[in-house]
């Protein structure tokens, strides 16, 4: 099976029902994408599939096909991803940081589709991502800052 992750094609020999998360973490060895719940409840495992945010813990790798997978390690190469990461740093969003890869992937996808998100847009895009440290106020502020930044 072949899968394209962060612009590179990987030949992998795994069962097709294996969630993409474990391919990314345990086969490819990219550990920025996190395991949180395994049932698409927390968003820590969020990656992009052709730019769309998906929960990789429930996505069988066999369904990825030719769609390009982007993870936290390369999201900074996209315009929205870079803006989001810069705002995250400027506002010192993170605490423990474990959920933040997923938060950033969700926020980057939001900004890509909705350059000037409202509070409601932010609620809709980000409420699938749990942060146990409670960085939600900082995340909201950082998304708004990223939206008005020049990148």
Q: Which residues bind other proteins (CB under 8 A)?
A: 14-15, 17-19, 22, 25-27, 29-42, 44, 55, 58-60, 63, 71-73, 75-76, 85, 88-89, 92-101, 104, 122-124, 126-140
* Closest CB to other proteins among residues 22, 112: 22
Kindly tell me which of 15 and 150 has the beta carbon lying closer to other proteins: 15
**CB of 145 vs other proteins, minimal distance in Å:** 14
Task: Tell me the closest approach of the beta carbon of residue 80 to other proteins, in angstroms.
Answer: 14
C-beta of residue 121 within 8 angstroms of C-beta of residue 114: yes
Cα–Cα distances (Å) from 33 to 39, 101, 117, 130, 137, in that order, read 15, 6, 25, 14, 22
Q: For residues 48 and 140, which CB has a smaller minimum distance to other proteins in the complex?
A: 140
| Residue among 17 and 150 whose Cβ is closer to other proteins | 17
Return the bridge partners of 10, or none. 3
In angstroms, give the least distance from the CB of 54 to other proteins.
8
In this structure, are residues 90 and 118 in contact, taking their beta carbons and an 8 Å threshold? no
What DSSP character marks residue 73? Answer: T
Q: How far is the CB of 9 from other proteins (least distance, A)?
A: 20
DSSP type of residue 57: T
State in angstroms the smallest separation of the CB of 19 from other proteins. Answer: 7
Q: Which is nearer to other proteins, 44 or 112 (CB)?
A: 44
* Alpha-carbon torsion angle 120, 124, 125, 128, nearest 10: 140
DSSP letter at 68 equals P
């Amino acid at each position: 099976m072949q899968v394209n992750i962060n612009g590179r094609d990987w030949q992998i020999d795994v069962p097709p029902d294996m969630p993409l998360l474990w391919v990314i973490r345990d086969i490819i060895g990219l550990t920025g994408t996190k395991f949180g719940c395994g049932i698409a409840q927390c968003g820590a495992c969020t990656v992009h599939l052709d730019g769309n945010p998906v929960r990789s813990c429930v996505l069988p790798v066999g369904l990825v096909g030719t769609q390009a997978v982007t993870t936290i390690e390369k999201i900074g190469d996209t315009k929205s991803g870079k803006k989001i990461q810069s705002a995250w740093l400027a506002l010192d969003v993170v605490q423990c940081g474990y959920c933040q890869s997923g938060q950033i992937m969700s926020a980057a996808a939001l900004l890509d589709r909705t350059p000037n998100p409202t509070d409601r847009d932010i609620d809709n895009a980000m409420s699938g991502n749990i942060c146990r440290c409670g960085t939600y106020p900082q995340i909201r502020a950082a998304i708004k800052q990223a939206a008005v930044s020049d990148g």
